[in-house]
A = this chain, B = another copy of it.
Amino acid sequence: MQYYPASIRNLIKNFAKLPGIGEKTAERLTLHVLESPKKEAEDLSKSIIEVKEKVRCCIRCFGLSDADICGICSNTGRDKTLLCVVEQPGDMVAIEKSGAFQGVYHILHGFLSPMDGIGPDNIKIKELFSRVEKKEVIEIILATSTSMEGDATASYIAEKLTQYPIKVTRIASGVPIGGDLKYVDQVTLKRAMENRHAILL
């Protein structure tokens, strides 16, 4: 590191703060920036600032958005009666990538974890109920993660939702498609056994 001029050391240090980027990789990236066209470096630099300045939470679903209302919430082609509850924006993106869902989302930005002091008021649960009270939603799919906390969060919401006349479902959990049973962990296998269903012919 000390063999480089200060500005190079500085960039190496800043690249190395990114996840999964060690000092060696940071060094390679820095030398690339140094050799690449100035325009490319400027674009990268500018887009880092822009992402911090422009991206905020959609005021409806709390997903990532450049505007007040995100692209999904403002899309008239999406089914507003179907609401999928997830923990993080990344979960929403994963479901979108699967192409399996045409409704809208609600991002909790976390999960209940009383041990860490995270209660219902610390995540976007209140906002979820406000949306439910607008009586637009017919079904809520709880797609929080299948961890203990994710399950607890789903159970908490499901129980609170019993007072509303809506259908509440949980995404299925079990053996991943293409997964070799040998490599599937025991808890998943146990869950897959418990949730076994008749074969649809």
Interface residues of A (CB under 8 A from B): 3-8, 10-11, 13-15, 17-21, 25, 28-34, 36, 38, 40-52, 54-55, 64-67, 70-71, 89-90, 92-93, 96-97
Chain B hits for A44, CB < 8 A? 11, 14-15, 17-18, 48
Q: How far is the CA of A17 from the CA of B29 in the complex (A)?
A: 10
Shortest Cβ gap from A39 to chain B (Å): 10
Contact of A7 among B7, B32, B43, B51 (CB under 8 A): B51
Chain B hits for A3, CB < 8 A? 92-93, 96-97
CB pair A5 B65 closer than 8 Å = yes
CB pair B10 A64 closer than 8 Å = no
Shortest Cβ gap from A143 to chain B (Å): 15
CB pair A71 B10 closer than 8 Å = no
CB pair A20 B28 closer than 8 Å = yes
CB pair A33 B5 closer than 8 Å = no
Contact A5-B66, Cβ < 8 Å, known A32-B18, A33-B51: yes
Chain B hits for A48, CB < 8 A? 11, 33, 41, 44-45, 48
28 A-B residue pairs with Cβ-Cβ distance under 8 Å, sorted by A, are: A4-B64, A5-B54, A5-B65, A5-B71, A6-B66, A7-B51, A7-B54, A7-B55, A8-B51, A10-B47, A11-B51, A13-B47, A18-B33, A19-B28, A21-B29, A31-B89, A33-B51, A33-B52, A34-B51, A34-B52, A41-B49, A41-B52, A42-B49, A42-B52, A44-B48, A45-B48, A45-B49, A48-B48
